[in-house]
């Protein structure tokens, strides 16, 4: 059997609740009505008998004298007068009245008659003199509770289907309107799930209720999904584009080599192939490392170490720099911090490579390490070509190169992306100051004691 939807389940539940409530109300009403009717009968009995009592006396001739106003039957109450020995003197008991009921002065009780009809009985001894008196008995049939209940159940039979019908319809309308945003959420999620439209939003507006908040949470999740999907698409297209260029060059050079007429032509083709293959290899290695860092497969090995020593050793052991460029290191001694030694070396090496690559003939590179309060500042400054101001933010994006021709064969456009990634992994940030034709200064600032960032901090757009 097909499972019921939540909407229908809720509708049924509300209707069932309404039904139970109505039935409970009906039972409550019946009980109350029953009690009120019973109490009414008893009061009626007592007042009628007491009223009649005052109207009975003994005449001088020994007969009973019933004054005006005395009624043998009034409002269902029968009044009977008996002699002391129990012989009926006046009044006509109802046919179904119980027989042989003992007299009890002032006691109200119910007695069962033969035909199952119950009666309330109330007796009073009415004395005329010390040796003369009569028993006055009041009788009233215990009200047929069943008849009241029957009336009420007739009513209930009429009302209950109405309750089910109206209650069910009302509940369905209510549940449907409450679930409408849910339907929208499901439709949007399904559309996105089928990959049809990532830009779709639920768009419930500013509803402050739970549904509104749920829709907003979904919308922002969809926005993030769209963003990362777009970023992923961009990355794949950038990466394939970057790889396609050296591959095309290699293929072209293979053709050249195959048809080379001189040893020089052949040698030249092989040199180009070698350079492009190295570029591809560097690109793939960097891409792999960046992806591993982003996905958390490559975990940073954070340890307390001497950063001053690392910076000094790296600067000292740089292989001979191109264009006669020289390095000057101004390192504050004994700067201890928590960092990943390999990643930190890569960060500094990338900055040094760039400073050399974009430096000028016989230029300089200044490396400075300083601490200020709990922050560490590591900067690499050069007096090279500099970067146009409008490109300053873009240079950290994947594959971005201000001037690919100037980057040369070693440039991949990934170096600074990785620098920023490593900086964030250490809870820090990297900033750049640059003036075209004057030089650039990259500064990495990070807290001395940081336990390492989460994967999300590493996502680079």
- Note the residues at the interface with ligand ADP (CB under 6 A): 354-355, 358, 382, 384-387, 395, 400-403, 407, 411-417, 440
Residue closest to 334 by CA, chosen among 447, 431, 452, 448: 448
Rounded least distance, CB 387 to ligand ADP, Å? 5
In the complex with ligand ADP, which residue's Cβ is closer, 138 or 363? 363
93/388 with CB nearer ligand ADP: 388
Cα dihedral: 114, 115, 117, 121 (round 10): -30
Give the nearest distance from C-beta 434 to ligand ADP in angstroms: 7
> If DSSP codes are grouped into helix, strand and coil, which group holds residue 289?
helix
**Which residue has the closest beta carbon to ligand ADP?**
415
Please report how close the Cβ of residue 265 comes to ligand ADP at its closest, in angstroms. Answer: 30
CA atoms of 443 and 445, how far apart (whole Å): 6
Judged by beta carbon, residue 154 or residue 403, the one nearer ligand ADP is 403
Minimum CB–partner distance for residue 289 and ligand ADP (Å) = 14
C-alpha dist (Å) from residue 352 to 255, 333, 360, 362, 441: 37, 20, 14, 15, 11
The torsion angle over the Cα atoms of residues 289, 290, 291 and 296, rounded to 10 degrees, is 90
Neighbour-count burial of 439, counting CB atoms closer than 10 A to its CB (0-12 exposed, 13-18 middle, 19+ buried): buried
The owner of tokens 């890569």 is 346
Residue number, 191 or 432, with CB nearest to ligand ADP: 432
For ligand ADP, which is the closer residue by CB, 7 or 346?
Answer: 346
Cα(131)–Cα(319) distance, rounded to whole angstroms? 144
Q: How far is residue 13's CA from residue 169's CA, in Å, rounded to a whole number?
A: 12
Nearest distance, CB of residue 438 and ligand ADP, angstroms: 10
Distance in Å, CB of 381 to ligand ADP, minimum: 9
Closer residue to ligand ADP (CB): 113 or 290: 290
């Amino acid at each position: 059997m097909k499972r019921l939807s939540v909407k229908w389940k809720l509708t049924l539940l509300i209707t069932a609740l309404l039904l139970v409530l109505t039935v409970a109300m009906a039972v409550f009403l019946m009980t109350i009505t029953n009690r009120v009717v019973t109490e009414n009968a008893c009061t009626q009995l007592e007042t009628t008998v007491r009223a009649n009592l005052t109207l009975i006396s003994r005449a001088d001739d020994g007969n009973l004298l019933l004054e005006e106003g005395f009624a043998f039957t009034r409002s269902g109450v029968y009044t009977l007068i008996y002699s002391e020995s129990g012989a009926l003197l006046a009044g006509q008991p109802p046919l179904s009245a119980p027989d042989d009921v003992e007299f009890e002065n002032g006691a109200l009780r119910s007695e069962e008659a033969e035909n199952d009809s119950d009666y309330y009985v109330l007796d009073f001894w009415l004395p005329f003199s010390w040796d003369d008196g009569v028993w006055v008995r009041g009788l009233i049939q215990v009200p047929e509770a069943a008849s009241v209940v029957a009336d009420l159940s007739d009513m209930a039979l009429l009302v209950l289907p109405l309750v089910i019908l109206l209650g069910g319809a009302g509940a369905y309308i209510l549940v449907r309107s409450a679930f409408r945003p849910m339907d929208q959420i499901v439709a949007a999620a399904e559309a996105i799930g089928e990959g049809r439209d990532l830009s779709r939003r639920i768009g419930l507006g500013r509803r402050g209720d739970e549904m509104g908040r749920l829709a907003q949470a979904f919308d922002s999740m969809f926005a993030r999904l769209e963003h990362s999907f777009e970023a992923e698409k961009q990355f794949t297209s950038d990466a394939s584009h970057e790889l396609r260029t050296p591959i095309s060059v290699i293929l072209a050079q293979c053709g050249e080599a195959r048809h080379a007429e001189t040893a020089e032509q052949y040698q030249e083709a092989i040199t180009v192939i070698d350079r492009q293959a190295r570029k591809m290899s560097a690109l793939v290695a960097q891409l792999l490392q960046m992806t591993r860092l982003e996905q958390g497969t490559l975990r940073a090995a954070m340890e307390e170490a001497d950063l001053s020593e690392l910076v000094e050793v790296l600067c000292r052991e740089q292989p001979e720099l191109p264009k006669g460029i020289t390095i000057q290191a101004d390192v504050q001694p004994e700067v201890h911090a928590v960092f990943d030694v390999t990643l930190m070396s890569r960060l500094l090496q990338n900055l040094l490579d760039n400073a050399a690559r974009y430096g000028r003939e016989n230029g300089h590179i200044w490396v400075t390490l300083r601490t200020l309060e709990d922050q560490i500042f590591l900067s690499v400054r050069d007096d090279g070509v500099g970067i146009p101001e409008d490109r300053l933010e873009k240079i950290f994006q994947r594959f971005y190169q201000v001037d690919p021709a100037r980057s040369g064969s070693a440039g991949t456009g990934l170096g600074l992306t990785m620098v920023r990634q490593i900086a964030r992994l250490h809870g820090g940030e990297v900033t750049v100051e640059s003036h075209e034709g004057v030089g650039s200064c990259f500064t990495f600032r990070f807290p001395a004691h940081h336990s390492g960032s989460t994967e999300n901090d590493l996502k680079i757009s």
